[in-house]
Structure 1
Amino acid sequence: MEFANKSTEEFLKENGVKPSYQRIRIFDYLIQHKNHPTVDSIFKALVPEIPTLSKTTVYNTLKLFLEQGIVQLLVIEENETRYDADISTHGHFKCEECGQVYDIRIDLSGLDLTELETHRVDEQHIYFKGVCNRCLNKNKINH
C-alpha cells in the first residue's frame, strides 16, 4: 500500500479525493480495522463520534474511494458487500461460522495465466470459505 509516511489527508488529495472530515475518518477506519467492513459496520462504528454521519454518506464515500482506486470491493456472499483499503493482490478467506474475513497472501508466479495475455483483466478475486482455526479450536473445546 502506498500510504506509508503520509497523512490520510495528503493521501486522499493525491488520489483525487477532497479530504472532508468524514472522508478522512472513513478511510482511517478502513486502514485501522482490517476486518473488511460493510457500510453498516463502518456507520455503526463512526456515528458515535460523528453524529451527523449518515449511511448514505458512508456509501457515497466508499463509492468515491472505489472510483479513485484506493479501496477494493469484496463480494464473497451475494448479499454482503465489504470494503478493503489494501488494494494489493491478495486473497480472502471467510469463516462460515463467525463471519470473519481474513487476508490471504497469494503468490501468482506459479499460475499459468498465458490464456489471459490477449485479454484485459480489470479485476481479480480469490476467495476461500470454510471454518477458521479460532472456530475450529472453540468447537474442539466445546465437544
Structure 2
Amino acid sequence: MTVETIKSIFKCHSYRATPQRIEIYKYLCEHPTHPDVEEVYRYMLSSNPSISRTTIYNVLQSLEQEGLILSVKIDSERVHYDADISLHGHFRCIKCNKIFDFDIDNIKCDSINDFEIKTRDVYYSGICPECK
C-alpha cells in the first residue's frame, strides 16, 4: 500500500496523517500476521529509534477508534492488531501461536432481539495444518 493511498484513506476519515500513523498503518496492512504492540514497536525502532511504546499504543488505539484497524483479543496475554476490517474470523494455533483469518460469510446476524450490535468477534483455537 502506498503512502498516497494511506493519506487518501485517512483523509476520508478526517484522520490526521502523521508520519508515525502512516508507517504503523502501512506495516499492519503489509503484515497480515496480527502483530502485537511489541512487534510493531520493534519494527518502528528500525526506522525511528526515538519512538516510544506509548506512541505505538496511542497510534494503535486511535486507528482502532477511527475504525481503520481491529484489535484481536484471541490471546489472553496480549492484544493483536489487524488492518483487515472486513467481517471475518480468527483462528489461533495453540502450538505455534500464529493467528489466521478465515471467512465467515455463512454467519449473518444483523440484529439480536432489540440489541444493537457494535462488534462481532468469531474466535477459534486449535492446531493449524503446519503444526499437525
> Normalising by the residue count of structure 2, what TM-score does the alignment of the two structures yield?
0.91
Aligned residues: 131
Give the secondary-structure state (helix, strand or coil) at the position aligned to 1:135: coil
Which of 101, 121, 127 is the aligned partner of 2:123?
A: 127
Q: CA deviation at 1:13?
A: 2.0
Which of 29, 33, 36 is the aligned partner of 1:35?
A: 33
Q: Which residue of 1 aligns with 2:74?
A: 76
> 8 Å contact 1:97–1:135 — kept in the other structure?
yes
Output the aligned Cα RMSD: 1.9
Give unpaired runs (5+ residues) of structure 2. Answer: none
Q: CA distance change for structure 1 residues 131 and 22 in 2, over 3 Å: closer, same or farther?
A: same
Give unpaired runs (5+ residues) of structure 1. Answer: 137-143
Matched letter for residue 23 of structure 1: R
Q: CA distance change for structure 1 residues 114 and 102 in 2, over 3 Å: closer, same or farther?
A: closer
Larger radius of gyration: 1
Matched letter for residue 55 of structure 1: R
CA distance in 1, matches of 2:130, 2:110: 38
Q: Which runs of 4+ in 1 moved over 4 A?
A: none
CA distance in 2, matches of 1:60, 1:114: 31
Q: CA distance change for structure 1 residues 57 and 88 in 2, over 3 Å: closer, same or farther?
A: same
Q: CA deviation at 1:17?
A: 1.7
Q: Between Structure 1 and Structure 2, which shows a larger proportion of helix residues?
A: 1
CA distance in 2, matches of 1:91, 1:115: 18
> 8 Å contact 1:92–1:128 — kept in the other structure?
yes
> Normalising by the residue count of structure 1, what TM-score does the alignment of the two structures yield?
0.84
CA distance in 1, matches of 2:102, 2:75: 17
What pairs with 1:7-46 in structure 2 (closer than 5 Å)?
Answer: 7-46=5-44
> 8 Å contact 1:16–1:68 — kept in the other structure?
no
Query: Could you report, residue by residue, the CA deviation over 1:118-141 in whole angstroms, capped at 9, with x for unpaired residues?
Result: 2100111001101111111xxxxx
